[in-house]
A and B are shown apart, each in its own frame.
Chain A
């Protein structure tokens, strides 16, 4: 008896067998390639952070101290907790909602301490995210580097935030103005002062998104950043005292 290939039973069995085979094949493939794919994502996060530091040639694992900002204090992360930090970086929604225990990366090089914070926000069409590197300079906080990426901003307009040309504009911009207000922003019509960056022509909504992203994401670290600022001032005072003491010692020596 020849099988009727157009009978319903044949078609149903055919479909079931096909789906089971294909499903098993794809499940096997996805599971076996997953570790490699996750390693790629992790590596990309590390490379982006090093790019924000402006030290792309250094190896993340060798030089960067990972930490969390808990109640305004830097707490170094323990070995077993590293994966949790990167998982949080990979989960933009959770990162945007995090209020405490915020991930932060510290790099000490040539006597200068820089911090990198993750930033997340919304552009015109979808998520925008990145990393910003900060450093204390003369009682203010200065952006030393930024990397940004986007899910679906308009190519040639908003998508320009992912280009080096735009990201370079942020370097050296101060976070806080003379009144201590958060002032760094992309300014439509061109940068007027040391807090402003040229906005993207035709990408106003994305530029606004970047402003909101910087304000909220960096704002969460404010207590820590302000603390760091104060610390520097305290350091200088201490140094002043040291100098005075030294001067006294010298005077004493002369007297002798």
Chain B
């Protein structure tokens, strides 16, 4: 029961991007097309899941004075692993993502979950928590990229969708501010469904 709640909570009711407003920077930068957005989302999911797992395993022997340094080393290592694999096997996507893969290190979601959850919970719970938070982030990225690619380029995953209906691409969708506006709209819809999130 607790485990499944751990998993579903970050996907919707406590989504890291649209409720906690974390990880916005990369959400603006890599959501022009679906493919890089999806790869970015999965990369972050990998990093959050395994940094949570590793830190949870280390939590009992961890000297609290160098806690943050150890977290950074673990997270940075995982990010380098992702970056190296993308360069080797998904070169085009890694070029599009450019610096944003490296910047996963600074993504607040990753360190936030390690500090808030993994250091106080068992490894398996922590892994699930990291996985769910990463997927919650990935879900929003893909959703934003869906609208931006569809209306900005008339394609989805590079396949023509709207062009065949005589749609003229709206270049405005390709600019970063549109990502912010779309996220704003998603937050609006999300809060009107989940009324308990609305501030009084």
Binding site for B on A (CB under 8 A): 5-6, 10-11, 14-15, 18-19, 22, 25-26, 29-30, 33, 36-37, 40-41, 43-44
Q: Please tell me if B189 contacts chain A, counting CB pairs below 8 Å.
A: no
Name the CB-closest residue of B to A15: B66
Q: Are A40 and B81 in contact (CB under 8 A)?
A: no
Q: Given A26-B80, A40-B88, A11 and B65 touching (CB < 8 A)?
A: yes
The contact of A37 among B62, B80, B88, by CB within 8 Å, is B88
Pairs A–B under 8 Å by Cβ, sample size 23: A5-B63, A11-B65, A14-B63, A14-B66, A15-B66, A15-B69, A18-B70, A22-B73, A25-B77, A26-B81, A29-B84, A30-B84, A33-B87, A33-B88, A36-B88, A36-B89, A37-B87, A37-B91, A40-B87, A40-B88, A40-B91, A41-B91, A44-B91
Q: Given A36-B89, A44-B91, A22 and B64 touching (CB < 8 A)?
A: no
Q: How far is the CA of A26 from the CA of B66 in the complex (A)?
A: 21
- Interface size of B as a range: 10 to 19
Q: Are B70 and A6 in contact (CB under 8 A)?
A: no
B72-87 interface code vs A (CB 8 A; 1 in, 0 out): 0100010011001101
Q: How far is the CA of A10 from the CA of B61 in the complex (A)?
A: 10
Cβ of B81: which chain A residues have Cβ within 8 Å of it? 26, 29
Shortest A56–chain B CB gap in Å is 14
Q: Are B89 and A26 in contact (CB under 8 A)?
A: no
Shortest B174–chain A CB gap in Å is 10
Q: How far is the CA of A33 from the CA of B94 in the complex (A)?
A: 14
Shortest A140–chain B CB gap in Å is 36
Cβ of B84: which chain A residues have Cβ within 8 Å of it? 29-30, 33, 37
Apart from A11-B65, A26-B80, A26-B81, list 7 A-B contacts with CB within 8 A: A5-B61, A10-B63, A14-B63, A15-B69, A18-B70, A18-B73, A40-B88
Name the CB-closest residue of A to B77: A22
Give the dominant DSSP class at B's interface. Answer: helix
Q: How far is the CA of A26 from the CA of B78 in the complex (A)?
A: 9
Binding site for A on B (CB under 8 A): 61-66, 69-70, 73, 77, 80-81, 84-85, 87-89, 91
Give the dominant DSSP class at A's interface. Answer: helix
A-B interface, 10 closest residue pairs, ranked by CB to CB distance from nearest: A40-B91, A36-B88, A33-B88, A11-B63, A5-B63, A37-B87, A37-B88, A22-B77, A33-B84, A29-B84
Cβ of A33: which chain B residues have Cβ within 8 Å of it? 84-85, 87-88
Cβ of A19: which chain B residues have Cβ within 8 Å of it? 73
Cβ of B64: which chain A residues have Cβ within 8 Å of it? 5-6
Q: How far is the CA of A227 from the CA of B80 in the complex (A)?
A: 50
Shortest B104–chain A CB gap in Å is 16
Cβ of A5: which chain B residues have Cβ within 8 Å of it? 61-64
Cβ of B77: which chain A residues have Cβ within 8 Å of it? 22, 25-26
Q: Are B73 and A6 in contact (CB under 8 A)?
A: no
Cβ of A30: which chain B residues have Cβ within 8 Å of it? 84
Q: Are B66 and A11 in contact (CB under 8 A)?
A: yes
Shortest B69–chain A CB gap in Å is 8
Cβ of A25: which chain B residues have Cβ within 8 Å of it? 77
Q: How far is the CA of A6 from the CA of B65 in the complex (A)?
A: 7
Cβ of B62: which chain A residues have Cβ within 8 Å of it? 5
Shortest B182–chain A CB gap in Å is 19
Q: Are A6 and B88 in contact (CB under 8 A)?
A: no
Shortest B171–chain A CB gap in Å is 10
Q: How far is the CA of A37 from the CA of B95 in the complex (A)?
A: 12
Name the CB-closest residue of A to B91: A40
